[in-house]
Structure 1
Amino acid sequence: MEPRSEAELAEAVAGAAGPLRVVGGGTRPIGAPVAGDPLPVAGLAGVSLYEPGALTLVAAAGTPLAEVEQTLAVEGQRLGFEPMDHRPLLGRAGVPTIGGVAAANVSGPRRIQAGACRDSLLGVRFVDGRGAVLKNGGRVMKNVTGYDLVKLMAGAFGTLGVLTEVAFKVQAIPETEATLVATGLDAGEAVDRLSAALGSPYDITGAAHLGPGCGAPEARTVVRIEGLADSVRYRAGALKSALGGDWQVIGDEASAALWREVRDVAPFAAGDAPVWRVSVKPSDGPVLVAVLEQAGLAKRAILDWGGGLVWVEVDDDPGDGGAAAIRDELARLGGHATLVRGSDALRARVPVFQPEPAPLAAISAGLRAKFDPRGILNPGLMGRC
């Protein structure tokens, strides 16, 4: 039976006899495979509060993301953190939900300017592993005292509680956008240019590098500017002069289409090679890619967030999807890696999420014991339990 209300969901969790596998829109099978009875949340849907003037929106967790975006677009507003659509990359159908976005802290290219999903979350309601309904945060943009469970739930992948309602701050859609595009730069040169752009006063909202073979034969380095038309025109011209080199400026739909490509890692779609999402210092992004290329593992790479987010498609010849090589290098560089695309067998064989240092693992285990004392919510998804 699919719960149709928060009360029914709480009853289902409280009465569960064994592990539960939380199911939203079925679009993001990230994490180790979970054995358990499905617990669907798509029945909890609908926008319950939207105040355009206050830049706030509240929706049930099972509300389709498309419905949220359409509601906002009518008033000329959007989710500032630009959530990714995983379906092309993962070859999935299904309907992305706003609760799934929050549970996975899904954040796109605009994170460098607008922050992550968790930074736009104002409040949450959720059911913990005992079946108790908890709430934290609020429905307006104001300070909330007490423990910040809002940010704790963002990125917990349903292992601490099942989201039932989320409240977001939203932002206005800008009048126009423009993107500067340079071709043929290597990753190191590209990150130097992206760093210069991000350090400029021109309010950059996207800074990425698509390596060779990522949607075009030559590498593309791209920088986005958004705002009022006259301001965008001036800032694009000034930034082009400041960066030097040969930059093409594209606007409107061509620019938007390019950033959807970056956001959804579209060049890696329609394949089955393992894909990793790696977070490092921006200056270390090219270093990681070079090491993997020298090892014959990296097939293609996309660097977002000025080089700090590396999407890398790897050759699976070693049988571990590149896990050992990537994590060995991260032990030197720092950072963390998540296996986003991989077969069920691969995701069961290697740690999908970055293994935690012992002190942090102890804190994580303590949190799980507090919020899910029976260990029934997505057990093993974020690590072996």
Structure 2
Amino acid sequence: MAPQSEAEVCDVIRSGGPFAIEGGGTRRIGVAKGAPLSTRGLSGVTLYEPGTLTLVARVGTPLSEIDALLAAEHQRLAFEVPDLRGLLGRVGESTIGGVVAANASGPRRVASGACRDFCLGVRFGDGRGDVVKNGGRVMKNVTGLDLVKLMAGSHGTLGVMTEVSLKVQPLPETVVTLRVPECEADVAVSIMSDMLGLPFDLTGAAWQGGTVFLRLEGFETSLRYRVGLMRVRLRREVEEIWGAETCTPIWCGIRDVEAFHDRGGDVWRVSVKPSDAMRLVETVQPEDMMFDWGGNRVWFLTKEGADVRAGMTSGHATLIRVSDETKRRLGVFHPQSAVLAGISAGLRHKFDPDGKFNQGVMG
């Protein structure tokens, strides 16, 4: 089923179920049960006001279309959307609805926040086929229960989104990446934690292949001043890489976990305190790994069937690329506590009392 309007979406919901909600099919990691319900027919930007940094789009709008529209006005989505097609072996076109549903957020989250932090409003069809709308086009309009934040990261389990409103961000004048080579993982965590704890306004802090990458964005004069202070603080060999043309490929590689493309094994995404990251690494003994968000996000490449969660005492781990058998055995998302599981079940029952949406995706 591929409804072409919000009204058609609600008609489809009322007519049956369960449904497996689909966007561009590029980033789903859970296994949904039910008849396919595609949102790709709900396409198009309905409002874009560069002066107020506001964009409203139907959920089936291709991400590439939105990126091109913003670039023409020297603006961007601040949360640096990951492209997981290479990692997951997918084809297709990512949609803005899928981005919001997954709360997809890249390296810039350390400075700007996640996708949900830039969501101003949402419209969706609930399990009864009624239209629910929340928020607006400016931050002050978000009052009461902030449903747009709730929908971001819900992976289509609470309703079928039809339209989202987003705050966008101007492009910086320039960008510089500091490359700090020959760093072991523990040293990298220490460096990134130190740099993020100081007023340098980093917009990226990652480690892979023995190298720390630190990114700053803004006015060139300010960046050169900050880079000078960082060099003094680091007291290590540092390479400066200036300009978007040379920096963008570096951060796209980190954002999209390119180091694990075309390599066998399971891929886990772990959120953990940097202070706990090294203890987890010693327990897991991965085939390969990389850190993002200053060490708060850890990517593990492990042997097939390995259980990263068995060695965790804090944080949460998500299965990103594994066999269906491993998904069934371990579950894609980290198990919730009894209290949180009860709250989640209550929310799902409130918005989707008959269990029509993406059964099985989040357990």
TM-score by length of 1: 0.92
1:89 counterpart residue number:
87
Match of 1:216 in 2: none
Moved more, 250-259 or 371-380: 250-259
Q: What secondary structure, in the 3-state scheme, does the structure 1 residue paired with 2:328 have?
A: helix
Alpha-carbon distance in 2 for matches of 1:308, 1:336: 11
The 5 Å alignment of 1:6-45 reads 6-16=6-16, 18-31=17-30, 33-45=31-43
* 1:240 to 2:231 alignment: yes
Identity, in percent, stands at 54
Q: Over aligned residue pairs, what C-alpha RMSD do you find?
A: 1.1
Q: Indicate yes or no: 2:61 matched with 1:73.
A: no
* Aligned residue number for residue 379 of structure 1: 359
TM-score in terms of structure 2 length: 0.97
Q: Which moved more, 1:226-235 or 1:40-49?
A: 226-235
Q: Secondary structure at the match of 1:49?
A: strand
Task: Please name the residue that 1:215 is paired with.
Answer: none
Q: How does 1:102-141 map to 2 (within 5 A)?
A: 102-141=100-139
User: 2-side partners of 1:9 and 1:124: how far apart?
Assistant: 15
Distance in 2 of aligned mates of 1:291 and 1:181: 28
Corresponding residue SS for 1:21:
strand
Q: Secondary structure at the match of 2:2?
A: coil
1:151 Cα deviation after fit? 0.8
Deviations 1:2-28 (A, max 9, x none): 100011011111101x31100100101
Counterpart in the other structure of 2:146: 148
Q: Which amino acid aligns with 2:236?
A: G
Q: Tell whether the 8 Å contact from 1:272 to 1:342 is kept in structure 2 after alignment.
A: no
The residue type paired with residue 163 of structure 1 is M
Q: Secondary structure at the match of 1:373?
A: coil
Distance 1:243 1:103 in 2: 39
1:322 to 306, 309, 315: 306
- Measured in 1, the distance between the counterparts of 2:37 and 2:111 equals 35
Determine the C-alpha separation between the residues in 2 that align with 1:29 and 1:35. 13
Paired position in structure 1 for 2:269: 277
Determine the C-alpha separation between the residues in 1 that align with 2:323 and 2:91: 17
What CA distance in whole angstroms lies between the structure 2 residues aligned with 1:201 and 1:360?
35
**2:59 and 2:262 mapped to 1: Cα distance?**
29
Partner of 2:321: 341
**Is the contact made by 1:284 and 1:308 (CA closer than 8 Å) also made in structure 2?**
no
Amino acid at match of 1:6: E
Amino acid of the structure 2 residue aligned with 1:249: E
- Among 244, 248, 258, the alignment partner of 1:256 is 248
SS in 2 for 1:184: coil
Indicate conservation of the 8 Å contact 2:80/2:106, yes or no. yes
In the alignment, structure 1 residue 358 sits paired with structure 2 residue 354: no
CA displacement at 1:272 relative to structure 2: 4.0
Deviation at 1:371, TM superposition (A): 0.6
Compute the displacement of 1:143 (Å): 4.3
SS in 2 for 1:303: strand
Q: Which amino acid aligns with 1:230?
A: T
- State whether structure 2 residue 288 is matched by structure 1 residue 289: no
The 5 A counterparts of 1:225-236 are 225-236=216-227
Give CA deviations for 1:167-217 in whole Å, capped at 9, x if unaligned: 11111000111111111211111111111111121110000111x3xxxxx
Once the two structures are TM-superposed, the CA of residue 140 in structure 1 deviates from its matched residue by 1.8
Out of 178, 183, 195, the residue aligned to residue 193 of structure 2 is 195
Aligned to 1:52: 50
Task: Please name the residue that 2:299 is paired with.
Answer: 311
Structure 1: state its 5+ residue gaps: 213-218
- Indicate if the aligned counterparts of 1:272 and 1:341 stay in contact, CA closer than 8 A: no
3-state SS of paired residue (1:204): coil
| Contact 1:284-1:307 within 8 A present in 2 as well | no
Is this contact kept in 2: 1:34–1:381, CA < 8 A?
yes
- The C-alpha deviation readout for 1:29-76, integer Å capped at 9, x for no partner, is 311x22211000000000000111101100000000111111111110
Q: Deviation string for 1:326-365 (max 9, x for gaps)?
A: 21222x2x11010011122222222110101111101111
Single out whichever of 143-152 and 5-14 deviates more from structure 2: 143-152
Quick check: 1:208–1:303 contact (8 Å CA) kept in 2?
Answer: yes
Aligned residues: 362
Q: Distance in 1 between matches of 2:50 and 2:297?
A: 32
Quote the Cα distance in structure 2 between the aligned partners of 1:133 and 1:270. Answer: 42
Q: What letter matches 1:248 in structure 2?
A: E
CA distance in structure 1 between the partners assigned to 2:91 and 2:264 by the alignment: 15
Letter in 2 for 1:245: R
Q: 1:174 and 2:172 equivalent?
A: yes
Distance in 2 between residues matched to 1:342 and 1:271, nearest whole Å: 12
**Offset of residue 377 of structure 1:** 0.3
Checking the alignment, whether the CA contact within 8 Å between 1:106 and 1:116 is kept in structure 2 is yes
Q: 2:2 is matched by which residue type in structure 1?
A: E
Tell me the amino acid that sits aligned with residue 14 of structure 1: R
In structure 2, the gaps of 5 or more residues are none
